[in-house]
Chain A
Amino acid sequence: MTTEGRSGGGPMYTRSAMFLAVLLALPGAAALGQMSRATLVKQSDIIFIGTVTQVGAVAVPEVPASDRTVVVHVDQVLEKPAAVALGAGDSVTVQTAQPGSLKPGSQATFYTTGWIFGQGVAVREVGHEPGRSPVVVADQQAAVARARLEMNDADLKAHIQKAAMVVAGRVEQVRPAELAGGAPAHRTRISEHDAQWQEAIIQVQDGIKGAQAGEQVVVRFPTSLDVAWVGTPRFTVGQEGTFLLHKDSTTGSPETVIAGRSVPAYTALHKSDVLPKQDALRIRVLMRKP
Chain B
Amino acid sequence: MRTRVIAATVALYAACDGATRQPPPAKVAGVRVVDVIPVSLSGETWQDAEPFLALYASNAQLMAASAFTPNPGGSASGTAPIFVSSDGGDTWTLRNTLPSEGMTADITHAVGATPPVLYSGILKVPGVPLNELKAGDFLSPATMTLQASRADVDQPFVRTAQAASADRVYVGLNDFDAPDGRTATVDVSLDGGATYKSRRIETRATVGQNGPSIRPAVAQDRTVYVAYFGWRATAGSTVTSDIAVVRDDSGAGGATPFRDLLDPSDHLPGRLVATRVTIPWSNAPTLGQERIGSTLAIAVNPLHSDTVYLAWADRVGTGDIYTVHLRRSGDRGATWTGDLRTVTNATNASLAVSANGTVGFLYQQVTGSDSSSRWVTRLEQSRDGFTTHQDAVLATVPTNAPPLQFLPYIGDYNGLLTRGDRFLGVFSASNAPDSTNFPQGVVYHRRVDFATHRLLDGSGATVAVSIDPFFFSVPVLP
A interface vs B, CB < 8 Å? 1, 6, 8-14, 42-43, 45-46, 62-63, 81-87, 113-121, 184, 187-194, 196, 224-230
State whether the Cβ of B102 lies closer than 8 Å to any Cβ in chain A: yes
Collect the chain A residues with CB atoms within 8 Å of residue B70's CB.
10-11
* Chain A neighbourhood of B458, CB < 8 A: 84-87
Pair A192/B208 contact, Cβ less than 8 Å: no
| Contact with A62, one of B93, B123, B405 (Cβ below 8 angstroms) | B93
Give Cα distance in the complex from A228 to B293, angstroms.
17
Interface string of B59-101 (1 = CB under 8 A from A): 0000000001011111111000000101000011111100000
Report which residue of A192, A224, A228 has the largest number of chain B beta carbons within 10 angstroms of its beta carbon. A192
17 contacts between A and B (CB under 8 A): A8-B74, A45-B72, A62-B84, A86-B458, A114-B71, A115-B141, A116-B94, A117-B93, A118-B38, A119-B40, A119-B91, A121-B40, A193-B123, A224-B283, A224-B407, A227-B407, A230-B406
Q: Are B457 and A118 in contact, with the CB atoms below 8 A?
A: no
Contacts of A1 in B (CB 8 A): 459, 461
Q: Is residue B128 within 8 Å, beta carbon to beta carbon, of the partner chain? A: yes
Interface range on chain B: under 10, 10 to 19, 20 to 34, or 35 or more? 35 or more
On whether A120 and B283 interact (CB within 8 A), knowing A9-B76, A10-B74, A227-B68, the answer reads no
Complex-state Cα separation, A230 to B70, whole angstroms: 12
Residue of A nearest to B294 (CB): A192
Most A CB contacts (10 A, CB to CB) among B93, B154, B405 go to B93
With a cutoff of 8 Å between Cβ atoms, the chain A residues found around residue B285 in the complex are 225
Whole-angstrom distance between the alpha carbons of A84 and B407 in the complex?
24
Q: Are B412 and A192 in contact (CB under 8 A)?
A: yes
Q: Is the CB of A118 within 8 A of B74?
A: no
CA–CA, A62 and B412, complex, Å = 31
Provide the B442-478 mask, 1 if CB < 8 A to any CB of A, else 0.
0001010000000001110100000000000000000
Q: Assuming the A-B contacts A193-B123, A228-B125, are A117 and B154 also in contact, with contact meaning beta carbons closer than 8 angstroms in the complex?
A: no
**Do B405 and A10 have beta carbons less than 8 Å apart?**
no
Which residues of B are found within 8 Å of A9, using beta-carbon distances? 73-76
Contact B76 A43 (CB under 8 A): yes
- A83 and B76 contact, CB distance less than 8 A: no
Say yes or no: is B46 at the interface (Cβ < 8 Å to chain A): yes
Complex alpha-carbon distance, A10 and B174, angstroms: 29
- Confirm or deny: B39 has a beta carbon within 8 angstroms of a beta carbon on chain A: yes
Nearest chain B residue, comparing its CB with the CB of A120: B40
Judging by beta carbons under 8 Å apart, are A118 and B91 in contact? yes
CB atoms of A45 and B412 under 8 A apart: no
Bound state CA distance, A255 and B403, in angstroms?
Answer: 37
In the bound assembly, the distance between CA atoms of A171 and B447 in angstroms comes to 44
B314 interfacial contact with A, CB 8 Å: no
Bound CA–CA A224/B406 (angstroms)? 9
Nearest CB of chain A from residue B324's CB, rounded to whole Å: 18
The answer to whether B105 and A193 touch across the interface, beta carbons within 8 angstroms, is yes
Residue on A nearest B412 in the bound complex, by CB: A192
Q: How far is the CB of A224 from chain B (nearest CB, A)?
A: 7
A228 touches B128 (CB 8 A): yes
Which residues does chain A contribute within 8 Å of B208, judged by CB atoms? 188-189
A230 vs B141: C-alpha distance when bound (angstroms): 27
Q: Is there a chain A Cβ closer than 8 Å to B421's Cβ?
A: no
Say whether, besides A45-B72, A83-B41, A118 and B406 are in contact (CB < 8 Å): no
B408 lies within 8 A of A227 (CB): yes
Q: Are A85 and B283 touching (Cβ within 8 A)?
A: no
Q: Across the interface, do A85 and B105 meet the contact criterion of CB distance under 8 Å?
A: no
Chain A CB within 8 A of B291 CB: yes
Q: A114-B71, A192-B407 are in contact. Are A8 and B76 (CB under 8 A)?
A: yes
Q: Which of B39, B72, B406 contacts A226, CB < 8 Å?
A: B406
Residues in B with CB closer than 8 Å to A83 are: 41-46, 72
CB distance from A70 to the nearest CB of B (A): 16
Please indicate the chain A residues that have their CB under 8 angstroms from the CB of B274 in the complex.
none
Which chain B residues border A196 with CB–CB below 8 Å?
283
User: For A115, what are the chain B residues with a Cβ–Cβ distance below 8 Å?
Assistant: 95-96, 141
Bound together, the chains give a CA A72 to CA B249 distance in angstroms of: 56
Closest chain-B Cβ to A10's Cβ sits at a distance in Å of: 3
CB distance from B297 to the nearest CB of A (A): 17
Provide the bound-state CA to CA distance between A143 and B296, in Å: 54
Given A10-B70, A225-B284, residue A118 in contact with residue B94 (CB < 8 A): yes
Point out the residues of chain B lying under 8 angstroms from A224, CB to CB: 283, 407
Q: How far is the CB of A155 from chain B (nearest CB, A)?
A: 10
Interface residues of B in 148-198 (CB under 8 A from A): 152, 154, 174, 176
B72–A84 touching, CB < 8 Å = yes
Interface residues of B in 98-131 (CB under 8 A from A): 102-103, 105-106, 123, 125, 128
A46 to B74 CA separation, bound complex (whole angstroms): 11
Q: Does B280 count as interface, using CB distance less than 8 angstroms?
A: no
Asked whether, in the complex, the Cβ of B404 is within 8 Å of the Cβ of A225, the reply is yes
| Alpha-carbon gap, A8 to B71, bound state (A) | 13
In the complex, the answer to whether B41 meets A192 with C-beta atoms within 8 Å is no
New A-B contacts (14) at CB < 8 Å, excluding given A86-B458, A227-B406: A11-B46, A62-B93, A85-B457, A85-B458, A116-B141, A117-B40, A118-B38, A118-B92, A119-B93, A190-B234, A192-B407, A225-B285, A226-B407, A227-B408
The 8 closest A-B pairs by CB, nearest first: A85-B458, A45-B73, A10-B74, A118-B93, A9-B74, A83-B44, A228-B105, A85-B42
Chain A neighbourhood of B39, CB < 8 A: 85, 118-119
Pairwise interchain contact B43-A85, C-beta atoms closer than 8 A: yes
In the assembled complex, the CB of B93 is this many whole angstroms from the nearest CB of chain A, namely: 3
Q: How far is the CA of A93 from the CA of B380 in the complex (A)?
A: 42
A81–chain B nearest beta-carbon distance, Å: 5
**Interface contact A117-B407, CB-CB below 8 Å:** no
Cα distance, A229 to B405, chains bound together (Å): 11
Task: Check: B209 CB closer than 8 A to any chain A CB.
Answer: yes
Q: With the chains together, A2 CA to B142 CA distance in Å?
A: 33
Report Cα–Cα, A14/B41, bound state, in Å: 13
A113 to B143, CA, bound (A): 14
Residue B29, interface by CB 8 Å? no
